[in-house]
Amino acid sequence: MQDPIFHVAFAVDDLATARDFYLSTLGCKERTDTSGKSYAVINFFGAQMVLIEAPDEVEPSKTDPSVEPYKHFGLIMDWEDWNDLADDLRAKNVEFRIKPNVKDHPDIGTVGNMFVADPAGNYLEFKSYKDKTKIL
């Protein structure tokens, strides 16, 4: 069986602004042959993401800004790719919900993570494990 491809779809309040964030800031690519006036299909680092313009469905986070947001999704990346993305986001002056950080956990080893929000307030976590055998 072929490895499955993750798919996620969610609301944004302004499609053009969200599209610009995913394409310009994060460096994702758009499937322009399948995007429409009110939605965009994005290749999000190998996962299929659909941004749907639905302002009434956008829900601002009520989580204390000092903790990880409860509602989020993200990627587990290779260590070097994670560090490169962190450097790129810093260079672009992207505001972090949680700045890139690296912690050592007793059972899983060294883990890096960071959180950013897209313009609609959807939270994205990017993380990396030095020991990939500890991911699942």
> Domain ranges in the chain?
7-55, 72-134
108: Cα separation from own chain's centroid:
22
- The CATH architecture one would assign to domain 7-55 is Roll (3.10)
What is the per-residue pLDDT for 66?
Answer: 81
What is the per-residue pLDDT for 86?
Answer: 98
Q: Which residues pair with 43 in a beta bridge?
A: 29, 48
What's the CATH fold of domain 72-134?
2,3-Dihydroxybiphenyl 1,2-Dioxygenase; domain 1 (3.10.180)
Per-residue pLDDT of the chain in tens (136 residues, 90 and over written 9): 888 999 999 999 999 999 999 999 999 999 988 888 999 999 999 999 999 999 999 988 888 888 889 899 999 999 999 999 999 999 999 999 999 999 999 999 999 999 999 999 999 999 999 999 999 8
What pTM was estimated for this model as a whole?
A: 0.91
What is the per-residue pLDDT for 53?
Answer: 98
Is there a common fold for 7-55 and 72-134? Answer: yes
Q: Which three-class secondary structure state does DSSP give residue 131?
A: coil
Largest CA distance in the chain: 49
